[in-house]
Amino acid sequence: MQFIDVRTDFAFKKVFGSEESKDILISFLNAILNFGNNPIVDLTILNPYQIPLVEGLKETYVDIKAKLENDTTVIIEMQAYNQGGFGKRIQSNLAQAYLTQLQSGEKYVKHNPTIALTITDFVMLHDEKLKSSVITSFKFMETSQLVLFPYNQMEMVFVELPKFQKTESELSSMADKWIYFIKQVGHLTAIPKSLAKDKTINHALKVANAASLTPEELEIQEKKARWLADQEEAESERKAALEKLAQMKAEKQAVEAEKQAVEAEKQAIEAEKQTALEKADRLAKLLAKQMLQANIDIALIQQETGLDEDLIKHL
């Protein structure tokens, strides 16, 4: 049994954004988003999955757009690699989705909540406080008192796959199961027991089964999978190059530190030598004084102390 890798935008939309996937999307959103005691019962997929007119082309930055029964709009994106301006693009998509709810002349009171749900196959949020947070949510908030804006209708939710480290035996919640599904389904060869018990995940596995795809869909998915593999290889090479650069930098710093240590030791030896010479000079002068007081011949004093005749005479 072979399953498609839903980390590609094509497969993600195939599994979560097709007309037959409404129950899958409802279960997924209820697991990831915090709706409390008001879970999603129904929704409408506004841009249902269809085979791209140009094979492999990502037609939009938003993979799935859905309207919930309470008129909340949710835009969902699966992003495999971090690109320049990606964070700003998410905010732009969220603002655009919120703004386009109203037709010209309609009153702002008709605006409904909008959520941007982004799944990333890379760590996007590096703050130390969020290093173990797989799911994070951002809303407008007063910064000094940390009070939510009372009229807030826009929210950004992130699911960072690399931060999810649970094994199959450790899956406990529906959120765990869906995140595990997204991260691992492309590597599965059989349905895991922990996922087989849930009806909607079983449905998702059925849709993700490569055997259920048409030849055209398989071709597109293969292109997307190859692209994903190429990106992973490029990322691996980039990391290897950065590690090599860091190693070379560390070696250079180590050599520099060793040079500095040798120089410091050289200076210490020189200082010690200078101290010894000064001490020897003082002792020689003291000895010369004592020999002068004993009326010893200057020539003999020179011989014993190594001091200059004029210096001895001035002692």
What is the C-alpha to C-alpha distance for residues 68 and 74, in angstroms, rounded to an integer?
Answer: 8
Mean pLDDT across the stretch 200-213? 91
3-state DSSP assignment of residue 208: helix
Question: CA torsion sign, 90 to 91 to 97 to 98?
Answer: positive
- Which pLDDT belongs to residue 306? 87
Q: Which has more pLDDT, 37 or 68?
A: 68
What is the C-alpha to C-alpha distance for residues 181 and 198, in angstroms, rounded to an integer?
Answer: 12
- Which pLDDT belongs to residue 55? 46
Report whether 18 contacts 162 (CB < 8 A): no
Task: Indicate the range of 49-53, 250-254, 308-312 predicted with least confidence.
Answer: 49-53
Mean pLDDT across the stretch 123-133? 93
Confidence of residue 217 (pLDDT cuts 50, 70, 90): confident
Tell me the pTM: 0.72
* 287 CB-contact burial (10 Å; exposed 0-12 / middle 13-18 / buried 19+): middle
3-state DSSP assignment of residue 3: strand
In the predicted structure, residue 56 carries a pLDDT above the cut 60: no
Mean pLDDT across the stretch 248-254? 92
The rounded percent of the chain whose pLDDT value lies above 70 is: 96
What is the C-alpha to C-alpha distance for residues 16 and 23, in angstroms, rounded to an integer?
Answer: 9
Report residue 68 as tokens: 């919930």
What is the C-alpha to C-alpha distance for residues 86 and 118, in angstroms, rounded to an integer?
Answer: 11
The DSSP secondary structure of 211-228, one letter per residue, reads GGS-HHHHHHHHHHHHHH
The rounded percent of the chain whose pLDDT value lies above 90 is: 56
Q: Which residues touch 274 (CB under 8 Å, ≥6 apart)?
A: none
Confidence of residue 59 (pLDDT cuts 50, 70, 90): very low
Residue written as tokens 């301006």? 85
In the predicted structure, residue 20 carries a pLDDT above the cut 60: yes
- Which pLDDT belongs to residue 311? 85
Confidence of residue 52 (pLDDT cuts 50, 70, 90): low
Report whether 292 contacts 304 (CB < 8 A): no
Mean pLDDT of the chain: 88
In the predicted structure, residue 305 carries a pLDDT above the cut 50: yes
Mean pLDDT across the stretch 99-106? 80
Domain boundaries, the chain: 9-213
What is the C-alpha to C-alpha distance for residues 293 and 289, in angstroms, rounded to an integer?
Answer: 6
Q: Cβ atoms within 10 A of the Cβ of 63, count?
A: 25
Question: Which strand (E) or helix (H) includes residue 156?
Answer: strand 154-160
Q: Over the stretch 278-297, which tens digit does the pLDDT of each residue have?
A: 898 899 888 888 888 888 88
What is the C-alpha to C-alpha distance for residues 51 and 11, in angstroms, rounded to an integer?
Answer: 11
Confidence of residue 61 (pLDDT cuts 50, 70, 90): low
Mean pLDDT across the stretch 207-218? 87
Q: Over the stretch 138-180, which tens digit does the pLDDT of each residue have?
A: 999 999 999 999 999 999 999 999 999 999 999 999 999 999 9
Count the residues in the chain: 315
In the predicted structure, residue 62 carries a pLDDT above the cut 80: no
The DSSP secondary structure of 288-315, one letter per residue, reads HHHHHHTT--HHHHHHHH---HHHHHT-
Nearest to 113 by CA among 129, 101, 130: 101
Q: Which has more pLDDT, 61 or 77?
A: 77
AA identity, residue 263: E
Question: Which strand (E) or helix (H) includes residue 148?
Answer: strand 147-148
